[in-house]
């Protein structure tokens, strides 16, 4: 079966979800006493759609038109468009190499600028909010090295910027042989900031949307240069363990410094452009606070601190749980008041990211209802290519 026919099967299934939401909006709930969508869904409610560049969706004008039409038809008002997935560019860049058509395994047509086209059609003609989704630190995925290009890929041009694990490896084997930049390297951070600034300067996007703005989960940050920076900053004499609280805190500070530098670059390029981020909420919340959860301890991503400091203008929490698995459904709802508490201390917005690809249409609708009833500013669906769990 072709990629396109598979996509269309998923798209048809997600329409059922939106029909379910429409029913919830008009239902009489007085007898149940529970808050429902008719009280919280408004025209101003954020409904975002992640549109990735790992398959058909933005590779041609026809694909973009199809994607935009579907988003409008199904009530989405924000597009999070992945224009940097692995250190590449689905826009015109002088800093990083051109992205590829992954579905056809070929270079993207150099005459076509996906970001420019989507901005003109989605924002200009339909009034949608468009955020440029940039994968910040993961810069490669696959066992083969990047091909020589102009500009040269960062993995080839600056191997000294790459993140190293405790065994001296740069590839994250359990994540498709991913390679990441080291957030503690000032030059690597500046590179990502320059990339974000280039997009903000050249394109009228509503926001720069950061993803993978964190460490990978596991014992990372053990390159000689990184450990030297850690020892210089903290006075530590020995190599830290992966669960050393001081090492975790230092790594989290490096990611926060990267966010701050990116924000400065974006605002310098265009002060009207927002900075948003896709952030993690792994596992269950902890009574002791976010800094005792898997997201902080594993990813070293202190996003509540970013929110409170105003380093980001909004966050999309990747709250990816299976509604049909009892413990995950409980965790989904247990996190919501934690998110809203963080929201009360933040000047920006907070949207709950839904794993539509893991759930049936009605299950995604139930999670959307719970998120909005809890007080979220909106939701984001992952993703356009898989808007519902594939049927067995």
Helix locations, the chain, DSSP H: 3-26, 37-40, 61-73, 114-118, 154-157, 186-202, 224-234, 245-269, 294-299, 303-309, 326-344, 361-374
The string of DSSP letters for 254-295 reads: HHHHHHHHHHHHHHHH-TTSEEEEEEE--S---TT-GGGSHH
Digit-coded pLDDT (tens) for 8-47: 333 334 443 443 344 333 333 333 333 333 334 566 799 9
Q: How far is CA 304 from CA 145, 270, 322, in A?
A: 36, 25, 24
Digit-coded pLDDT (tens) for 43-68: 679 999 999 999 999 999 999 999 99
User: Is residue 375, in this structure, part of any structural domain at all?
Assistant: yes
User: Is residue 205, in this structure, part of any structural domain at all?
Assistant: yes
User: Is residue 391, in this structure, part of any structural domain at all?
Assistant: no
Q: What is the pLDDT of residue 390?
A: 79
- Rg of the chain over Cα atoms, rounded to whole angstroms, equals 21
User: Is residue 27, in this structure, part of any structural domain at all?
Assistant: no
Please state, in angstroms and rounded to a whole number, the distance separating the CA atoms of residues 5 and 25: 31
Please state, in angstroms and rounded to a whole number, the distance separating the CA atoms of residues 214 and 302: 9
Total tally of structural domains belonging to the chain: 1
Domain containing 362: what range?
3-22+40-382
Q: Is 120 a residue whose pLDDT tops 70?
A: yes
User: Is residue 233, in this structure, part of any structural domain at all?
Assistant: yes
141 three-state secondary structure? strand
Averaged pLDDT of the chain:
90
**Strand 106-107 to strand 138-141: parallel, antiparallel, or no bridges (unpaired)?**
unpaired
Contact 129, 123 (CB under 8 A): yes
pLDDT bracket for residue 276 (50, 70, 90): very high
Please state, in angstroms and rounded to a whole number, the distance separating the CA atoms of residues 358 and 389: 5
The CATH number assigned to the domain holding 165 equals: 3.20.20.80
Strands (E), 52-99: 78-84
Q: Helix, strand, coil: what percent of the chain each, to 5?
A: 45, 15, 40
CA dihedral 354, 358, 359, 360 (to 10 degrees): 130
Please state, in angstroms and rounded to a whole number, the distance separating the CA atoms of residues 29 and 382: 29
Q: What's the average model confidence in pLDDT over 108-129?
A: 96
User: Is residue 29, in this structure, part of any structural domain at all?
Assistant: no
């Amino acid at each position: 079966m072709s990629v396109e026919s598979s996509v269309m099967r998923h798209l048809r299934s997600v329409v059922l979800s939106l029909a379910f939401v429409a029913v919830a909006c008009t239902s009489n709930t007085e007898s149940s006493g529970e808050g429902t969508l008719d009280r919280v869904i408004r025209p101003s409610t954020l409904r975002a759609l992640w549109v990735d560049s790992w398959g058909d969706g933005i590779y041609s004008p026809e694909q973009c038109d199809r994607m935009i039409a579907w988003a409008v038809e199904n009530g989405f008002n924000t597009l999070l468009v992945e224009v940097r997935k692995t250190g590449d560019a689905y826009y015109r860049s002088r800093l990083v190499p051109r992205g590829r058509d992954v579905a056809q395994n070929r270079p993207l047509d150099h005459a076509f600028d996906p970001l420019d086209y989507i901005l003109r059609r989605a924002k200009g003609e339909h009034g949608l909010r468009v955020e440029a989704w940039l994968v910040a630190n993961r810069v490669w995925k696959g066992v083969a090295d990047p091909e020589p290009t102009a500009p040269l890929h960062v993995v080839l041009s600056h191997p000294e910027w790459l993140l190293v694990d405790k065994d001296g490896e740069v590839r994250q084997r359990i994540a498709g042989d991913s390679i990441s930049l080291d957030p503690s390297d000032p030059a690597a951070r500046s590179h990502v900031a320059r990339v974000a600034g280039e997009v903000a300067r050249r394109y009228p996007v509503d926001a720069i949307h950061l993803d993978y703005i964190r460490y990978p989960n596991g014992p990372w940050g053990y390159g000689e240069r990184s450990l030297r920076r850690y020892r210089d900053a903290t006075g530590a004499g020995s190599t830290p363990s992966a669960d050393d609280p001081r090492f975790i805190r230092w790594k989290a500070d490096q990611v926060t410094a990267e966010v701050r530098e990116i924000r400065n670059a974006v605002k310098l390029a265009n002060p009207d452009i927002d900075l948003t981020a896709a952030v993690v909420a792994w596992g269950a919340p902890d009574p002791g606070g976010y800094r005792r959860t898997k997201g902080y301890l594993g990813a070293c991503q202190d996003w509540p601190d970013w929110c409170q400091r105003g380093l980001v203008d909004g966050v999309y929490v990747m709250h990816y749980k299976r509604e049909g698995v009892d413990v995950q459904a409980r965790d989904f709802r247990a996190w919501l008041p934690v998110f809203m508490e963080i929201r009360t201390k933040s000047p920006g917005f907070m949207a709950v990211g839904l794993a539509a690809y893991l759930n049936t249409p009605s299950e995604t609708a139930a999670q959307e209802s719970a998120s909005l009833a809890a007080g979220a500013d909106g939701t984001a669906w992952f993703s356009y290519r898989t808007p519902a769990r594939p049927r067995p």
